[in-house]
């Protein structure tokens, strides 16, 4: 009997305008394709509300609320209070995110502002006893330094792009490594080494949709059922079955959020 995927996408953006014209149809289609759950991650002030609404409108969508480093200038006391309020009102908000550091784009807020806002949101996660979803782009050393300042906070290093050594440091702190469609790209040697060197019980799978669709759909709008390509690649690297990978990554996510499947 053929294995039937049960996909939990641990990082998506279905409130993105890329889905404005056919969101309902896409979400219905991916459910038919075996998607059992999605963690929709906010990144801006506006997306705190749109993410929260998605969790209310769709039973299989959960939320993470936070301000992305590119919008760090928008984080203030009122935003903090709104996140806290939504977390208390809505049991489907499972994490604080996407938060972190992004040194890739010159137009992003100054690094000191990003670091301050990252720390503030890590404090909030600690206060609310929630895991975090961390965005780290070209900022590995500073990201790790701030993670170490909050030993009680655990979470996901989303769209992992660092070395195996950095991954091991993250795992030591109790974090999970988020694997995206990048692993299926031809030049993905570094992330393949990470998958090889990190135990399966510390890996999670994610799309970051609508971005970064895996091969053979690279360049198209990404969606959660494409995770089967990521699972297949991890299985190939780990020399185990896709079924084993699928079961393990789902269990990993539920362990992180302290929920029974």
Q: Which of 92, 95, 84 is nearest to 130 (CA)?
A: 95
13 assigned ligand-binding residue: yes
Contact, 235 vs 179, CB < 8 A? no
Q: What is the largest CA-CA distance in the chain?
A: 55
158 assigned ligand-binding residue: yes
140 assigned ligand-binding residue: no
Task: Give residue for tokens 């059922």.
Answer: 225
Torsion angle of alpha carbons 76, 79, 84, 88, nearest 10°? 170
Phi, psi of 215 (to 5 degrees): -65, 140
120 assigned ligand-binding residue: no
DSSP 8-state symbol, 185? S
Torsion angle of alpha carbons 91, 37, 82, 159, nearest 10°? 140
Beta strands 203-205 and 175-179, pairing class: parallel
Question: Annotated binding residues, as ranges?
Answer: 11, 13, 98, 135, 158, 208
- Binding-site annotation: residue ranges for a divalent metal cation: 11, 13, 98, 135, 158, 208
């Amino acid at each position: 009997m053929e294995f039937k995927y049960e996909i939990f996408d641990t990082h998506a953006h279905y409130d993105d305008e890329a889905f404005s014209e056919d969101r309902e149809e896409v979400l219905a289609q991916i459910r038919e394709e075996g998607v059992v759950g999605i963690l929709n991650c906010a990144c801006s002030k506006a997306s705190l509300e749109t993410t929260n609404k998605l969790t209310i409108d769709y039973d299989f969508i959960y939320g993470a609320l936070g301000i992305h480093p590119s919008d760090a200038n928008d984080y203030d006391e009122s935003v903090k209070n709104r996140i806290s309020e939504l977390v208390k009102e809505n049991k489907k908000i499972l994490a604080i995110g996407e938060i972190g550091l992004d040194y890739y784009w010159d137009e992003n807020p100054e690094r000191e502002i990003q670091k301050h806002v990252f720390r503030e949101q890590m404090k909030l996660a600690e206060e609310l006893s929630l895991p975090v979803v961390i965005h780290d782009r070209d900022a590995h050393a500073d990201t790790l330094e701030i993670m170490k300042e909050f030993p009680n906070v655990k979470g996901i290093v989303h769209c992992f792009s660092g070395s195996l050594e950095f991954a091991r440091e993250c795992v030591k702190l109790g974090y999970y490594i988020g694997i995206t469609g990048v692993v299926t790209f031809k030049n993905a040697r570094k992330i393949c080494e990470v998958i090889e060197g990190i135990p399966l019980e510390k890996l999670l799978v994610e799309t970051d949709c609508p971005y970064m669709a895996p091969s053979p759909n690279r360049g198209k709008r990404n969606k959660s059922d494409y995770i089967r390509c990521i699972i297949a690649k991890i299985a190939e690297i780990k020399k185990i079955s896709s079924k084993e990978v699928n079961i393990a990554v789902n269990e990993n996510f539920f362990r992180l959020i302290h929920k029974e499947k």
